Amino acid sequence: MKENRQHIQYFLFSQYLSDGIRTTVEIILPSVILAQFNRLDLGLVMSTGALCASIADGPGPVEHKRNGMLYCILFTFLMTLVTGLVNTHIFLMGLLVLLASFLFTMFSVFGNRAASVGTAVLLIMVLRMDKIIGPLNVTMESLFVLAGGGWYMLTALVFFKLYPYRPTQRLLGTCLHETARYLKIKSALYESSSNINDEYRKLVAQQVLVNEKQDELRELLYKNREMMKDPTATGKLLMVTFADVIDLFENIMATWYDYALLRERFGNTGILNEVSIIIQRQAEEIDGIALAIQANNHYKKQYLLVPALDQLKTTIDALDDAGQSNLVLKKILVNIRNLGERTDELMNYFKAGAAEQRNVRTDSEYAKFVSHQVISANEFFSNFTLQSAVFRHSLRMMITCIAGFIIAKLLPNAHHSYWILLTIIVIVKPGFSLTKQRNLERLFGTIAGGIIGILFIYFIHDRTILFLFTVLFMLVTYTFIRVNYIVTVIFMTPYIIILFSLLGIGSINVAEERLLDTAIASVLAFMGNYFLFPHWESVQLESYMIRVLSANEQYLQQLAAFFSGNKPSLMEYKLVRKQLYISSANLSSAFQRMLSEPKSKQRSSQYIYEFVLLNHVLSSNIASLTASMINKEASMAPKEILFPVRKSIALLKQSLASLDHTALKEEINPSKPLRVKENYSDKQLSEQLNFIYKVSSDIGKITTEIAKENWRNERATT
């Protein structure tokens, strides 16, 4: 019950709901106002312009939003004008569909926001292609589309000016919430009743979500010029808290053990279940802090960790008295205590003046943590090759759209056949798995939404009530548009059906036609992604694996530098850490997408799963050492310590060379088991370094098998 209540609270204070309400009001208001002057037709045109501008209003810094919306408004105005002038000639309209679907899909070269602009331009083309009016009316309605987009941008910028920090606070809360969920999954690894492999899979999938939110927040904070130039107390507080969230996540990742062995040794003592409960309570504490940040409320500590740790320590000490080794349990105890300290640091967010005591980096230093998109003609045309995924996607979109256009024109009595093109534009994605997912969601969502819309019209005859439900369905549509696509489609369909009913167009016919058009578009999208320049994840996975190996090698180099007495800078260390998180999340995400592709297109799935898991284990163990040492003074370690680190690096380089033929190979003979000399005083460190070496060796074996299978597949296709 508590968890359900918390989910509702997260939703009520989320950026998604805030954007959904704002977007709905900004889109519907022009229609409502002009309807009072009996010009609902022009109001709908303005609302269409606002709708297109909203597509470019994705998450990110205000400057990027403004530029994206500005270009979007300009291009949609021009496309409205051109479409209105050529739609009386079927061949000219077909040529426009052919060229525009390719050109504006190629906008993806410049990133997600540019891709959104391209989608908005294609949307306005599709919506206007069947509206035949004179040149004068075309010009007037194009100006109203321009006015609608301008209205949306103006009100959106005013809103951002009035509440500059709320989007960042909400996203920070969401990021911390996903981190808490990651910790909850990790707590289940200690439970004797849980399935370790299932929990590993959940953990890897959740890491993708955490990284996604971290990246969004990094972009929002570090590309905000006003915040970078002259950070206010609130801005500074958000930046230092985000740094604490990243450090907290590293602390969580750094706690990794052989959970099967732990259960074998201590499963019957009940200690592991006690550990799981403590970690879960700590995750709930983090979740509570996240909700308070998102809701912009104060937070009072709910869970007292110290008494629970004292009780756990007593239980662990009792094992020592009984003659059973409890070294690993003591290490777990220390890690939980460190986790508690990191969580307490988050409480500084709610203390007045806490951020003033913290240093923030300069603008140029923060710039190193974010990617910078180059927009140039050279960048655009350099992607005109079949080696480019964007170019292949653009060709696929072009061919599928022109096929949809031809079929739409051949259908008898098809008054809204532009829905075929509209559906294609929405569901055709660069990868097969994403298109497949969108395909199914669109089809089932349309069926469910169509039934809902027809039932509403059949049982409710009051136009005012129907209009209110239309507004409600719009609100849900724009709230979930970036969260849950099937929910969006389920509510978007009845809102369109009811809207057409209010405008005097037959609702049953509209529902039937919409379903038919969706089915046709789904078939075309599936065939396009399967047969036209397919983009199979199995082919791309090798590049993701190379990046992960390289990132882990660089991460291990940080540890080697420390043991060599050359302490790396904190900035350098955090950049390497960030790169590792991103590359690991990208690999995990690509692997999950591959599993949803046809079995015949999958390669080495079991080996790649082991590769993903082993690299996750490796980075967690490196993190457990680097995180504890980065704030200490570096000193030259004995060769017994430096030797296994160097050998592990060599193994990773060898693995890298087996996948990346441009990498330099290092000869190494790992046949003999490597052991750190037992006379070294820190036995725990010795064990951990041996484990890192073992994992690096296992990665090498798995990588060799993957490379062999890739070579066999290449020979089979040539």
What span, in angstroms and rounded, lies between the C-alpha atoms of 182 and 151?
A: 41
Residue located via tokens 């989007």: 167
Those residues whose C-beta lies under 8 Å from the C-beta of residue 244, and which sit 6 or more positions away, are: 342, 345, 346, 348
Among the listed residues 493, 485, 380, 390, the one whose alpha carbon sits nearest the alpha carbon of residue 441: 485
Structure tokens at 539: 């082919």
438-442-443 Cα angle (round to 5): 120
Residues of the chain with pLDDT under 50: 664, 667-681
Given a contact cutoff of 8 angstroms between Cβ atoms, the answer to whether 53 and 152 are in contact is yes
Cβ neighbours, 10 Å, residue 600: 7
Distance CA 222, CA 388 (A): 29
In angstroms, rounded to a whole number, what is the distance separating the alpha carbons of residues 337 and 330? Answer: 11
The residue type found at 507 is: S
CA R_g for the chain: 28
Nearest to 267 by CA among 319, 190, 330: 190
- What is the pLDDT, as a whole number, of residue 285? 93
| pLDDT for 2 | 64
pLDDT at 226: 60
Number of helices (H), then strands (E), belonging to the chain: the values are: 28, 0
Q: What DSSP state is assigned to residue 673?
A: P
Q: Return the pLDDT at 260.
A: 83
Residue 355, number of CB atoms within 10 A of its CB: 21
Contact status, residue 31 vs residue 46, Cβ threshold 8 Å: yes
The pLDDT value recorded for residue 117 is: 94
The residue extents of the domains of the chain are: 1-163, 167-213+228-362, 537-717
pLDDT tens figures, 200-253: 888 888 988 898 898 888 888 877 766 655 567 788 888 888 888 988 988 888
pLDDT in tens, 280-331: 999 999 999 999 999 888 888 888 888 988 898 888 888 765 556 677 888 8
Contact 304, 332 (CB under 8 A): no
State the Cα–Cα distance between residues 339 and 341, nearest whole angstrom: 5
Residue 34 phi, psi dihedral angles, 5° rounding: -70, -25
Determine the pLDDT at residue 403: 93
Question: The domain at 537-717 falls in which architecture?
Answer: Up-down Bundle (1.20)
Residue where the block lists tokens 């590309």: 223
In 495-522, which positions are buried (b, 16+ CB within 10 angstroms) versus exposed (e)?
Answer: bbbbbbbeeeeebeebbebbbebbbbbb
Percent of residues, the chain, with pLDDT higher than 90: 22
What are the strands, taking DSSP E only, across 373-431?
Answer: none
From residue 65, alpha-carbon distances to 56, 62, 154, 178, 547 in Å are 7, 5, 11, 25, 31
* pLDDT at 283 (0 to 100): 93
Residue by residue, DSSP assigns 98-162 as HHHHHHHHGGGGG-HHHHHHHHHHHHHHHHHTT----HHHHHHHHHHHHHHHHHHHHHHHHHHHH
Task: Take residue 605 and report the two structure tokens written for it.
Answer: 């799935």
Helices 166-188 and 233-253: crossing angle, nearest 10°?
10
